[in-house]
Structures are given as structure tokens and as C-alpha cells.
Amino acid sequence: MAQIDILIIGGGAAALSAALFLPEKTRALLVCKPYNLGCSTEYAQGGIACPIDADDIQSHIDDTIKAGAGRCREAVVKLLVSEGYELMGELLKMGAPFDRDENGALLRAKEAAHGKARILRAGGDQTGVKIRSFLLEKLRYPARFGEVVDLLIENDRCYGATIASGDLRENIYARHTIIASGGFGALYAVTTNPPSILGELQGIAAFRGRKLSDMHFTQFHPTALATGAPAQKPLLSEALRGEGATIIDDRDRRFLEDYGANELSPRDLVSRAVFAHIKSGRKAYLDLSGFDERYLRERFASAYGKLIEFGLKPPFGKAPISPAFHYAMGGIAIDERARVLDTKGLYAIGEAAMSGAHGANRLASNSLTEALAFGAIAAETIASDSSSAKERSFGVIGEPSRVEGDGEVLDTIRDTLWNRAGVERDSASLNKAASVLEALSERKLGLLTRRSLITARTIISHAIDEKQSVGAHYIGKESV
């Protein structure tokens, strides 16, 4: 029975960061979904939050904890910010393509709830694409396409995973397995996430007895481009507001103050304000009229391209917006060294994990910081692990990944989560959602759809258990 040292599940920033910092001569393999849409990193526009200098570390920690609404693990926040600061220095030495001015100084932007302009960007609003390309160039291990359909767990140890590639299934045995598969945004009807981000690994982990935490802390981005049919909404980066874009309604009125917010308030406040204003019968727009077209094209190339793609013509005046699911603060519970709780040989990083760094409401641009930093932390933890385990053999699970009717079930999950566990929730809607999802569990489902359903049901159960509004979990007025 062949066994490798490390199996990495995922192909985004967290997975590639872990691969970058693994010990030399490691036998490692990356497995990711067989299409580029399986990676949220590609859609990260805003940038990477990093202290300006050592004196700014505490300020960045304070901003993160404040945004997290009292639910951050302070020790993890300190680790994230300090490790992130050191890591950005290493990446810069490696040639990471962060934007610089004509004198070679790093350009930094300001985003919501940050006390200072500390956001590093690459290619303007193409940070995710640029950083992932940079990390892929550094990748020294083989990668293959496939979907993880099971984790090989017995008692308190993980021995690898079962991978499906077309009709072929096989067990890949590994001393260490890193889950870096992303969040679960495509379980919501309106989202900025690609359509394959369905939270299967969270469901697999829960099915195998691992703990999921804070699954109800779901962040909604306030300025997704309000397009027609596609569920995945293009993101209009928060950095646009950091550089002067404003939010207005169909009367050209800046309305955020009516809801106790402004353009650079935390995302939960701005999302609720925009959501409530639209709900009241108004329309919402991001006013871009103050931007020079050339500057917008060069500095925000991704947003510029999306505006063109969806029918807006330069010079852009105002772009229609609405909130959309953006990021999962909750996930597979880990400790401060990226180890999945009570499980030897298993790690979770990035959006798949709940480290406690984000609390109830993630600070803007801390997601790529966490992905990169905890990728490095996982690699360091593995390098220091001298434990060994006897090799084990597992049967290959035979249940089909998808069956006819799964698409309809996934659509029901999406509509249920968006309408009943979205920007606003209430107890009646959440209880109704629980009933709808419970009924779905009685249907014949493919294996991975069943695991996604576990994830969706956990989101609802955690939301029901949280009786008070906190961070991104907002209890509104009862409306069934």
C-alpha cells in the first residue's frame, strides 16, 4: 500500500502556501476540483491585510478584534497578524508581485473597519489571481484533479482521503492530510463564490465525527454587482469605497447614515443597510462617477471588466448593487497550529477552517492573510511532528457522488439559506429552514450532495442556537 507524506486538498492560496513551506524532500500531492471554478482565491479582489510596520501590529490586532464583535480568539488574532507580517516580508523577498509606486514603495489601500491604509494589492483588484499565479510558479509537487468523497478516519487519526476522478475512485494514504478546500458560498442563492464551493469537506468532516464551529457566522459583501440570472455575482471591491466611491439610491441620495453606517463601516453594517434600503422599495448603487476612466481601468481592472461584461458602458456613473454571500467565518474547528481538534494527522486551513481569527465578522482582506499564514503554520506544525502511525487499509466507498435530482435539491438548499439565513434572520424563518432541510435528508441523494446538506443543516442549527444578534448573525423582525 503506497503512502505519501502529505496530501493537500485544494488549489487556492491556503493550499499553495502550505505546499510552499513544506520541508524539503517531502512526498506531497495536491488534489483539487477538476475546473478552475473550484478556487475562490481567483475572485479575491481587495488585497491582503498586513501591518505597515512593527508599530502597526497592535493596531491591526485591535481592528480585527473589534470587527469580530467579541468572538475572536485573541491569541489566534495575535498569531495571525504577527505571522502574517513576517510572511509578507518573506513573500516580498521571493518576488511576490505586490503593487508599488514609481519609486518602488509598496502601495497600500484602506478598506472598511481598518484604522489605517494597510492593504497590499497586486494588479490593482486582481490580487487573488496574481498571488495564486505566483504561488503556482513556486509549486514543486505534483497536482491532480479530483473530488474528495471521504476522509479515511479511524478513532483519533486520519490516514488520508478517498478521491474520485470520473468513474475512478481510489484511496490516497498520507501521514498528514491538509484540508484547504474553501468555504460553502455556493450553498447560497446569491453569492460572490464560484458555483463549485459547496462545503462538501465540512460535511464530510462532520459525518466523520469532527467538530464544525461558528457555521452561522456568514459574511455578506454589500457591493456585489446586481446582475440578472447568474447566482455568482461579480464583486465590486471594497477598495473602490476606500478610494472614494459612495453608495447611493435611485434618488442619488447617500442613505447609509439612515442606518448608522458609512461607506467604510464593517461589512455587516453596510450589508444590512443596503439590504434594508432595497427591502423598503428603493434601489442601491455604487457611485463611480468620481473615478477617471483610465484610472479605473488600470487600478481596478477586474471590476472594470465585469462592468463592461454586464452591459455598463464607460464612463461609469452608478452600478447597481446588492449584498451577496461572500465568506464563511465558521468551518472545521482547529487549534492555533491548524490541527483539526482531536484528530492526529489532519489539518484544516483557510476558509474551510474555523481558527477563531475572524470571530463573528471578518475584517476586510484578512482572509488571504489567514490563508497564507495558516498554510505556513500547518507546514511548520507538520515539520515538527515526529509521531508515526501504523499503516491502515480502508475500503473504497461506493455510493455515487451525484444522482438525478441533486440539482433540484441544491437549488432548494440555496433558496432556503439565502431567504431564511441570509443578511437578516429570525427564529421562525430559521425553524422553517430546519424543517425544509430535514425533509431533504429523506430523499435519495448523491454522496456529495448529502455531505453538502450536512453543512447546510449545521449552518441553520448553529443559527438557531445563537439567540442574540452578534456580528454577521443578525436577528431581525419575525417574518415567516
CATH of the structural domain 222-324, one choice from 3.40.50.10880, 3.90.700.10, 3.40.50.10860, 3.50.50.60: 3.90.700.10
Torsion over CA: 279, 316, 303, 266 (sign): negative
- Give the pLDDT of residue 38: 56
Rg (CA), the chain: 21
Q: Does residue 267 carry a catalytic annotation?
A: yes
**Whole-number Å distance between alpha carbons of 94 and 425:** 45
Q: How many Å is the maximal CA-CA distance in the chain?
A: 69
- Give the pLDDT of residue 37: 47
- Give the pLDDT of residue 35: 58
- Give the pLDDT of residue 480: 44
| Burial (0-12, 13-18, 19+ Cβ within 10 Å), 297 | middle
Amino acid at 282: R
Tell the residue number behind the cell numbers 462617477, with chain if given: 289
Amino acid at 22: L
* pLDDT tens digits in sequence order for the chain, 480 residues long: 679 999 999 999 999 999 999 998 899 999 998 754 457 888 888 899 999 999 999 999 999 999 999 999 999 999 999 999 999 999 999 999 999 999 999 999 988 889 999 999 999 999 999 999 999 999 999 999 999 999 999 999 999 999 999 889 999 999 999 999 999 999 999 999 999 999 999 999 999 999 999 999 999 999 999 987 667 898 998 889 989 999 999 999 999 999 999 998 888 899 999 999 999 999 999 999 999 999 999 889 989 999 998 888 888 899 999 999 999 999 999 999 999 999 999 999 999 999 999 999 999 999 999 999 999 999 999 999 988 778 889 999 999 999 999 999 999 999 999 999 999 999 999 999 999 999 999 999 999 999 999 999 999 999 999 999 999 999 987 654
Within 8 A by CB and 6+ apart from 404, the residues are: none
CA 318: distance to chain centroid?
27
- Provide the 3-class DSSP secondary structure of residue 193: coil
Integer CA distances (angstroms), 135 to 88, 289, 300, in order: 13, 36, 22
- Give the pLDDT of residue 21: 97
What is the tens place of the pLDDT at every residue in 151-167? 999 999 999 999 999 88
Q: At what angle do helices 57-67 and 74-94 cross, to 10 degrees?
A: 130
- Give the pLDDT of residue 430: 98
- If phi over 0 gives left and psi between -120 and 50 gives alpha, with beta otherwise, what is residue 131? alpha
What is the tens place of the pLDDT at every residue in 413-428? 999 999 999 999 999 9
- Give the pLDDT of residue 336: 97
Residue among 175, 267, 414, 425 flagged as catalytic: 267
Q: Is the separation of the CB atoms in 321 and 222 below 8 Å?
A: yes
Helix H, strand E, coil C: the string for 85-110 is HHHHHHHHHHCCCCCECCCCCECEEC
Q: At what angle do helices 127-138 and 366-383 cross, to 10 degrees?
A: 20
